[in-house]
Amino acid sequence: MEPVKVFLLGGQSNMVGSGKPQELSGVHAEPQSDVKFWSGSAWVDLAPGAGNFGPEIGFGRAMKDALPKEEIYLVKYAARQTFQSLPGAVETQPFGPDVLVYKVGGKMFGTLVIENDVGRINLKCDPERAVELRAEWPDSVLPGYHMNKRHWNTLVLDGRIPSRLARELVVHSHDLVVAALPQKLRREFTAS
The domain 79-189: what is its CATH number?
A: 3.90.1150.30
One-character DSSP codes across the chain:
----EEEEEE-SHHHH--B-GGG--GGGGS-EEEEEEE-SSSEEEE---SS-B-THHHHHHHHHHHSTTS-EEEEEE-HHHHHHTSTT-EEE-TT-TTEEEEEETTEEEEEEEEETTEEEEEEE--HHHHHHHHHHSTTTEEEPTTS-TTTEEEEEESSSS-HHHHHHHHHHHHHHHHHTS-HHHHHHH---
Pairwise CA distance, residues 136 & 153, whole Å: 13
pTM over 0.75: no
pLDDT for the residue 29: 79
The answer to whether the CB of 37 falls within 8 A of the CB of 48 is: no
pLDDT for the residue 128: 95
Residue 192 has pLDDT above 60, yes or no: no
- At residue 19 the predicted structure's pLDDT band, cuts being 50, 70 and 90, is low
pLDDT for the residue 132: 95
The answer to whether the CB of 113 falls within 8 A of the CB of 99 is: yes
Q: What is the pLDDT of residues 84-127, one digit of tens each?
A: 778 888 988 998 888 889 999 999 999 998 777 678 899 999 99
pLDDT for the residue 50: 45
Alpha-carbon 156 to chain mean position:
11
As to burial, measured by CB atoms within 10 angstroms (0-12 exposed, 13-18 middle, 19+ buried), residue 112 is buried
pLDDT for the residue 106: 93
Q: What is the pLDDT of residues 136-170, one digit of tens each?
A: 999 999 998 788 788 899 998 877 887 778 888 99
Higher local confidence (pLDDT), 18 or 24: 24
Residue of 172, 159, 162 lying closest to 128 (CA atoms): 172
Higher local confidence (pLDDT), 111 or 9: 111
Give the domain ranges of the chain: 5-77, 79-189
Pairwise CA distance, residues 113 & 59, whole Å: 26
Higher local confidence (pLDDT), 114 or 10: 114
Alpha-carbon 162 to chain mean position:
9
